[in-house]
Structure 1
């Protein structure tokens, strides 16, 4: 029987913790959106059994174009600067931009703007807990 490995860290939770100092962060856009707001969502990725490579979408909402773009750039720099740091107990091995920030239409009666970017991160799963030595049978 193979070893049951611990799960990889929850990528959305890691990014929520990383980006929270910039603005309120969520994993789903609320019906009553009050900018500034950051929404994070895992939108793909892969793993090799050792390292998880989540592809993350970060959507930044601002009360106007300037606020949305400024928040998106702050997010990008924080994500790229997270390499070799611990975020919510997770050591970030790598971070890169997949698609740089781009304004995406957001249907609303207010002039709320949305800027979306995609990032690829990398981290390993937590080490499995040590198993007690098997007792010898005589």
Structure 2
């Protein structure tokens, strides 16, 4: 009998990767407006073969206006692309990361806020 595979938490890895860009979180704060810019990370799917977890993570970026939201979304994309050949994120080795779905502006309840959504894939293996 083999032991269960314990992959790293993809949402936590994404949150750690993006934490210096704004308020990175796994759920929206009660007062979104007071915490802008906000980067919400949510695992929305993916696959694993018992060796590698290929996590698909949606990154929602909220900012005060369209230019700033798009600029921040570009920084997220750049941060993911740095991991294309692998790298360490707060003690977790990422084998590969890439953007699956480029940024899309999504309307919010407050028309003054801007939300840009993109989907990324983060490939990781369990720690040794």
Name the one with the larger strand percent: 2
Identify the TM-score tier after normalising by the shorter chain. over 0.9
Q: Give the root-mean-square deviation of aligned CA atoms.
A: 1.2
TM (normalized to structure 1)? 0.86
What corresponds to 2:28 in structure 1? 29
Q: Unpaired segments of 5 or more residues in structure 1?
A: 128-138
What corresponds to 1:77 in structure 2? 78
Q: Quote how far apart the aligned CAs of 1:90 are.
A: 1.1
Name the one with the larger helix percent: 2
Q: Unpaired segments of 5 or more residues in structure 2?
A: none
Kindly report which structure 2 residues correspond to 1:1-138, keeping only aligned pairs within 5 A, or say none. 2-33=1-32, 34-83=35-84, 84-108=86-110, 111-127=112-128
Q: Quote how far apart the aligned CAs of 1:92 are.
A: 1.0
Q: What is the CA–CA distance in structure 1 between the aligned matches of 2:55 and 2:103, rounded to whole Å?
A: 18
Q: What is the CA–CA distance in structure 2 between the aligned matches of 1:3 and 1:112, rounded to whole Å?
A: 49
- 1:70-98 per-position Cα deviation (integer Å, ceiling 9, x unaligned): 11010010011124210021111111111
TM (normalized to structure 2)? 0.92
How many residues of Structure 1 are paired with residues of Structure 2 in the alignment?
A: 125
